[in-house]
Structure 1
Amino acid sequence: MTAYDDLMEFNRDTQALGQVAGRLGWDQETMMPRGAAPQRAEEMAAMESILHARRIDPRVGDWLSAIDDKTLDEVGRANMRHIRRSFERTSKVPAALATRIAKLTSASQGIWAEARADNDFKAFAPTLAEVIMLKREEGQALAAGGDVYDAMLADYEPGTTGADLEAMFGSMRPVLSELRAAIREAKPVAPLSGEYDEGAQMKLTRQLAKTFGYDMTRGRVDKAVHPFSSGSGLDVRITTRTNPIDPFNCFYSTIHEVGHAAYEQNIHADHLLTPLGSGVSMGVHESQSRIYENQIGRSRAFTGWLFGQMKDAFGEFGVKDEDAFYATVNRVGDGFIRTEADELQYNLHVLLRFDLERALMSGDLQVSELEAAWNDRFEADFGFAVDKPSNGVLQDVHWPVGLFGYFPTYSLGNVYAGCLNEAMRQALPGLDADLAAGDTSAATTWLRENVQTHGGLYEPRDVIERASGKAPDEAPLLAYLKEKFSGIYNI
């Protein structure tokens, strides 16, 4: 066997162990007994210790040195790019620090959940301060004198910097704020009313998952507090949640997570358990979930079909026709929760978090100041005050589990989705007729062939540029939002 063959065989086992670790996380969110949290923290730490040791195994460095990338094909060179990047990154982080972070963030999740339930940020603040201290230490090791936040961002969106995002988000914010202000002056759209059986919600949500191409023979749908997708290849699981007065939360959380899961399920089979066998970045991943959820799932054509499915599932539910249902699905309204935000205001939630976490990582903002900073920024951006920590600084799980640098990829994913939607609509002029019949296959096939099948073969921005025909920027997303919401609100 060649050095490349040896390296790929070793990496395959590492990938498989990573999937097992991911399954522990899925279980923790869905089925694990509450009392098992302390032991699960030990288990997660042990797995991270093993994975860290494999990622910095001296043999990996020897194999990388022995391999001449020029002798490899495109797939081989891409594998080397990912393995080399991971090896160099992981080698910079002391094993003891990686283990401490894994153990703390697993335990932190339970502490956060209790503080959130009690609406007591002060009870969680010391743990969050410790998480930030360790993550900053990790970032400093990775940055090697460079920008700590950029080093952390590279874990989720290679090739993008905080300065890049600051410029992009800076151009988006005034446009979104202006459109939001105009909508607040327009005639409001009535929210959905009544109660909707949660069992019926789950039945319809599983139908929606299949409608968007989710392969249930290689996945499953469960309930969790915070919807997520987990796994890749032949085992890709999603979660959703139900609310008796808000079935859209269930349906669109499911469609969103199916976008993530479809990406993982549709990666070329040859890439299974290789560095190319997962989505290339969180921004590209989010582009799939957002285009499934919004540009397809909230389109006038598809909501017309969904209106009929809702009537079949729940009977008459107080919305008079398909046009009114489309407006209700896309209603812009006041709310505290990012994951429940309408398509227009969602990015304002993300921009808030992006600015705050950069300040936390730089030391410009202390944990003791975080709740007040959050509340001040929220009121400035949304026009009303946060009423309790669970609707504010405690609402997201990302910071408790150490995911700093993750939040901006949500908005970057929206930008990517805007670019992809523009190209997809040009390629599929008859798409609305299909969607009106509940047939998403043309859209999902286009996304599979142009984005998903590649997995990690190309760099993130290259994936979007190859699919859309131009370098990604925010203009298509902003144009789409203006056209859509101006039409709904007659502004």
Structure 2
Amino acid sequence: MSPDAPKPDAPKNDAYEALIAHARETAALEQVAGRLSWDQETHMPRGAAAQRAEEMAAMEGVLHARRSDPRLRDWLAAVTPTEPVAEAQLAKIRRAWERAGRVPARLSQEIARVTSVAQGIWAEARARDDVAAFLPTLAEVVRLKREEGAALATGGDAYDALVDDYEPGMTGADISAMFDALRPRLVDLRGRILGASSRPAALHGSFGADTQIRLARDLAGAFGYDFTRGRIDIAVHPFSSGAGDDVRITTRIAESDPFNCFYSTIHEVGHAIYEQNIDPDYALTPIGGGVSMGVHESQSRICENQLGRSRAFTGWLFAQMRERFGEFGISSEEEFFATVNRVEPGFIRTEADEVHYNLHVMLRFDLERALIRGDLEVADLEEAWNSRFLADFGVAVDRASNGVLQDVHWSVGLFGYFPTYTLGNLYAGALHGAMRRALPDLDDQLAAGDLSGATGWLREHVQRHGGLYTPHQLISTAIGEEPGAGPLLEYLEAKFGAIYGV
């Protein structure tokens, strides 16, 4: 099905068309592989794990061969882009080809096979709080990712090479500088909040699963999720999967904590609408997906936090919850807003409040960087995690599922991914400021449960462009200035300073 290589005397645009046709077919196969992963997380029978690992390895073998196809070199040499879309397409194709050529096919397939199996082993170990059952498999994943990082780095820093998969151009040094800028003011804000004389009430009660999922679907629709091109399922670890006309999300349900379901859903919808709103002309091409995981995370975090946890929108959500669940112990919109934004040191990153969230990411960044560099071995990981958590959060980890086993990322080989969560928060803070300047009546819209103005602004300034621009170009243009930590920190200090009187 692959296009034939152009003849030596073929016009240059023939080479470009051959490249795009090859890239479209590769992207289609990547979506098929993604659907296998989605099924593994949602509906696959447990006994199918070993077979699925072989299926994933086979798919990766096909994809690696396409990404490293030697014809790509000739086609790329035959094309000189003359307009921005072609330039962006070719840059993406060239980058993928160069990176694929550095990683042996054997290694690429073995990573796919081992991480597919590891995902199930992690889930079972997490359910039993059994670290020992998972560590041998994690050690194998780390060994393979170290090898991949070294191959990609060609003598440079292996961790930087892995980060580059998720945030092109970003390095460990850049991340450390970003965290150094954030940490002092975050720690100071946390200290003032935890020392405040009054604290918002916690949510108590039982909230039926069926009612939760119905409201979650309504929230997804309010934030612009197109159910004709997507669906919601339940998973251990919420995620978004797919692109274009098939973008699926998952959430999770705890009857004692409906916020977990509602805000996980809003978060994943932020990812999903990014993919659904990319210019359809870019579908199944190299620029037909989100430009980076940092930008992707900015879309989920601005939906979840700056919009979904705002005073205006929580007023609307409070009315929805009272209508569907009846009285649940919170007496006013103001009290509900404070409860939604309650700051409390907790074990779970995905449930963390906005003040603590980035501290969770910093912990993971330091540990995974040390693992890839060989400064930390897997056998010592749990002790390192628990010691660092106690130092950062002042709470001792009580069980492995609240500690080193809580995240799926390392089991599936996503080393270098965690820092993009905080980068996404920085971008979200900057985008939120620009959005409010552009939409002076935003709070009135949010109070009515109307997200169309906000999501329309995101679609226009970020989402529709897909991978046409670099992450830095995209965000800088959207906000009209250089992105930095300032807007996020100012937003957090203003919001939580007001709630806690600090």
TM-score bracket for the superposition, by shorter chain length: over 0.9
How many Å apart are 1:181 and its aligned residue? 1.1
1:93-114 Cα distance to aligned partner (Å, 9 max, x none): 0000100110000011111112
CA distance in 2, matches of 1:426, 1:175: 25
**1:10 alignment partner, one of 22, 41, 46:** 22
Amino acid at match of 1:323: E
Confirm whether residue 145 of structure 1 aligns to residue 155 of structure 2. yes
Confirm whether residue 37 of structure 1 aligns to residue 73 of structure 2. no
- TM-score if structure 2 supplies the norm length? 0.97
Confirm whether residue 489 of structure 1 aligns to residue 500 of structure 2. yes
Aligned to 1:263: 274
**Any stretches of 5+ residues in structure 1 without a counterpart?**
none
CA distance in 2, matches of 1:312, 1:190: 20
CA distance in 2, matches of 1:367, 1:209: 39
Confirm whether residue 224 of structure 1 aligns to residue 235 of structure 2. yes
CA distance in 2, matches of 1:140, 1:361: 9
Amino acid at match of 2:49: A
Superposition pairs for residues 9-158 of structure 1, below 5 Å? Answer: 9-69=21-81, 72-158=82-168
Confirm whether residue 295 of structure 1 aligns to residue 299 of structure 2. no
**2:459 alignment partner, one of 426, 448, 457:** 448
Q: Is contact 2:274-2:299 (8 Å) kept?
A: yes
1:42-87 Cα distance to aligned partner (Å, 9 max, x none): 1001000000001011111111111123xx3110000001000000
**2:479 alignment partner, one of 468, 473, 478:** 468
CA distance in 1, matches of 2:199, 2:330: 15
**2:438 alignment partner, one of 411, 427, 431:** 427
3-state secondary structure, aligned to 1:230: strand
Amino acid at match of 2:194: R
Q: Is contact 2:53-2:117 (8 Å) kept?
A: yes
CA distance in 2, matches of 1:232, 1:10: 18
The worse-fitting range, judged by mean Cα deviation, of 186-195 and 259-268 is 186-195
3-state secondary structure, aligned to 1:245: coil
1:133-162 Cα distance to aligned partner (Å, 9 max, x none): 110100001000111111000000001111
Aligned to 2:405: 394
Aligned to 2:291: 280
Aligned to 1:459: 470
Confirm whether residue 206 of structure 1 aligns to residue 217 of structure 2. yes
Aligned to 2:173: 163
How many correspondences in the alignment? 489
CA distance in 1, matches of 2:108, 2:264: 32
Amino acid at match of 2:144: L
RMSD, aligned α-carbons: 0.7
3-state secondary structure, aligned to 2:241: strand
Q: Is contact 2:345-2:356 (8 Å) kept?
A: no
The worse-fitting range, judged by mean Cα deviation, of 111-120 and 437-446 is 111-120
Amino acid at match of 2:179: F
**2:449 alignment partner, one of 433, 438, 453:** 438
3-state secondary structure, aligned to 2:38: helix
CA distance in 2, matches of 1:208, 1:295: 15
CA distance in 2, matches of 1:439, 1:103: 44
Aligned to 2:264: 253
Amino acid at match of 2:70: P
How many Å apart are 1:182 and its aligned residue? 1.0
Confirm whether residue 173 of structure 1 aligns to residue 183 of structure 2. yes
CA distance in 1, matches of 2:247, 2:128: 33
3-state secondary structure, aligned to 1:26: helix
Confirm whether residue 237 of structure 1 aligns to residue 248 of structure 2. yes
Aligned to 2:362: 351
Amino acid at match of 1:177: V
CA distance in 2, matches of 1:356, 1:429: 42
How many Å apart are 1:461 and its aligned residue? 1.2
Amino acid at match of 2:327: E
Moved over 3 A (4+): none
Amino acid at match of 2:80: D
Amino acid at match of 1:89: R
**Any stretches of 5+ residues in structure 2 without a counterpart?**
1-12
CA distance in 1, matches of 2:168, 2:83: 22
How many Å apart are 1:488 and its aligned residue? 0.5
Superposition pairs for residues 273-422 of structure 1, below 5 Å? Answer: 273-422=284-433
- TM-score if structure 1 supplies the norm length? 0.99
1:246-290 Cα distance to aligned partner (Å, 9 max, x none): 000000000000000000000001000001110000000000000
CA distance in 2, matches of 1:248, 1:118: 25
